[in-house]
Amino acid sequence: MSAYLIAEITVTDPVGYEKYRAKVGASLSNYNAKFLVRAGAIENLEGSWSPQRLVICEFSDMKTIREWYASEEYQEIKKLRDDTAAFNVVSVAGI
């Protein structure tokens, strides 16, 4: 069963964030994950939530999301975003 990583991102330093963005895709491909949504136009249909940027990635399962997130490779890449953006990240199992 597929699982999805959903990230709400508020970029505070676009130049610095680009360094993270340029590397994260390769780390995902090592886990056979793919982007389903990467920024794009956001339209609020209900409520007050208005994220600046959303990313949705598809993984084979929840275990693989946890393995990718905890991997040495991703943790090194993650350091590139620490001072460039604020993240809220969740994972959810598909149906």
Give the pLDDT confidence of 18-58 residue by residue, as tens digits: 999 999 999 999 999 999 999 878 999 999 999 999 999 99
User: Distance between alpha carbon 49 and the CA centroid of its chain, in Å?
Assistant: 18
Confidence of residue 7 (pLDDT cuts 50, 70, 90): very high
Whole-number percent of the chain with pLDDT over 70: 100
Considering only CA atoms, which of 29, 38, 39, 11 is closest in space to residue 73?
Answer: 29
- What is the set of domains in the chain, with CATH numbers? 3-89 (3.30.70.100)
The pLDDT of residue 40 is 77
The pLDDT of residue 39 is 80
Considering only CA atoms, which of 15, 95, 10, 93 is closest in space to residue 55?
Answer: 10
Nearest-angstrom CA–CA distance, 71 and 41: 30
Q: Please determine, for residue 62, whether its predicted confidence score (pLDDT) is greater than 90.
A: yes
